[in-house]
């Protein structure tokens, strides 16, 4: 009926489209964060070594022998433990950013802003808080990663692999981590846009509710 059509019509609004973009960005951030802390040694899948499957089953240590092999495994584990809290924190943030716009979309479909216009101001405030909070979150993310890459564990690990002719274990940010940061910046701008659209929707709803009184 008319109610169902109004609910479906919300999915074609600018606010709903912006919220869908936020869901997509959050999902990509979640994926990039999981890649950052996914493998025990931070291995990025070199074609010459046969990929991640080869690495996880010990093939990446085929060039080592004796104490060097044991040392490589120890350094990999320590390096992984240093990066794990950062990756988990990023995944947690990505998970919350994935849930939040889904809830807002559901609220919009159920026409809550029409019955309770003040919700749009609350939504605007939350969007601004998330957008502003993304800046220190990104700073903490990259600062923590750079601290890990500048650690003695990472430097020793890099030198050990290079001494055996292995490439790809450099102490620097890799593609997934850079992508997570860029996606975070785009998400911050999307939430600012969403806040502006919420304010505009509040004005529209307020004006429409005032029309019957004027008549």
Compute the distance between CA of residue 168 and CA of residue 153 in angstroms, rounded to an integer: 16
For residue 189, give every residue at least 6 positions away whose Cβ sits within 8 Å of its Cβ, in sequence order, or none. 131
State the average pLDDT over residues 169-190: 91
- CB-based contact 92:167 (threshold 8 Å): no
pLDDT of 101 higher than 90: yes
Identify which of 148, 108, 133 has the alpha carbon closest to the alpha carbon of residue 9. 108
Q: Which two tokens stand for residue 172?
A: 């620097």
Does pTM surpass 0.75? yes
In percent, the amount of the chain with pLDDT more than 70 equals 82
pLDDT tens digits, one per residue of 76-85? 889 989 999 9
For tokens 């994935």, what's the residue?
A: 98
Identify which of 83, 88, 101 has the alpha carbon closest to the alpha carbon of residue 19. 101
For residue 50, what pLDDT is reported?
A: 40
For residue 67, what pLDDT is reported?
A: 78
pLDDT tens digits, one per residue of 5-41? 566 777 888 889 999 999 999 999 999 988 877 654 4
- Local confidence band at 139 (pLDDT 50, 70, 90 cut-offs): very high
pLDDT of 111 higher than 60: yes
For residue 5, what pLDDT is reported?
A: 58
pLDDT tens digits, one per residue of 36-58? 776 544 333 333 334 443 444 34
For the chain, give the mean pLDDT. 82
- Local confidence band at 213 (pLDDT 50, 70, 90 cut-offs): low
Identify which of 14, 18, 34, 22 has the alpha carbon closest to the alpha carbon of residue 184. 22
Q: What is the DSSP string of 107-168?
A: HHHTTHHHH-THHHHHHHHHHHHHHHHHHHHHHHHHHHHHHHHTSHHHHHHHHHHHHTT--S
């Amino acid at each position: 009926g008319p109610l169902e059509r109004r609910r479906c019509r919300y999915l074609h609004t600018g606010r709903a489209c912006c919220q869908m973009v936020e869901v997509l960005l959050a999902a990509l951030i979640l994926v990039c964060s999981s890649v950052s802390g996914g493998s025990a040694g931070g291995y990025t899948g070199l074609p010459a070594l046969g990929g991640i499957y080869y690495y996880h089953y010990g093939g990446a240590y085929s060039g080592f022998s004796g104490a060097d092999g044991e040392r490589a495994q120890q350094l990999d584990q320590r390096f992984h433990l240093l990066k794990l809290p950062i990756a988990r924190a990023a995944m947690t943030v990505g998970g919350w950013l994935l849930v939040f716009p889904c809830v807002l979309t559901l609220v919009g479909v159920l026409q809550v802003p029409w019955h309770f216009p003040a919700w749009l101001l609350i939504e605007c405030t939350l969007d601004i808080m998330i957008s502003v909070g993304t800046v220190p979150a990104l700073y903490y993310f990259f600062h923590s990663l750079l601290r890990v890459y500048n650690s003695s564990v990472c430097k020793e690990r890099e030198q050990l692999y290079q001494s055996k002719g292995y490439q790809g274990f450099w102490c620097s940010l890799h593609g997934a981590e850079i992508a997570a940061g860029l996606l975070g910046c785009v998400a911050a701008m999307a939430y600012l846009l969403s806040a502006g659209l919420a304010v505009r929707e509040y004005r529209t709803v307020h004006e429409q509710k005032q029309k019957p009184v004027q008549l």
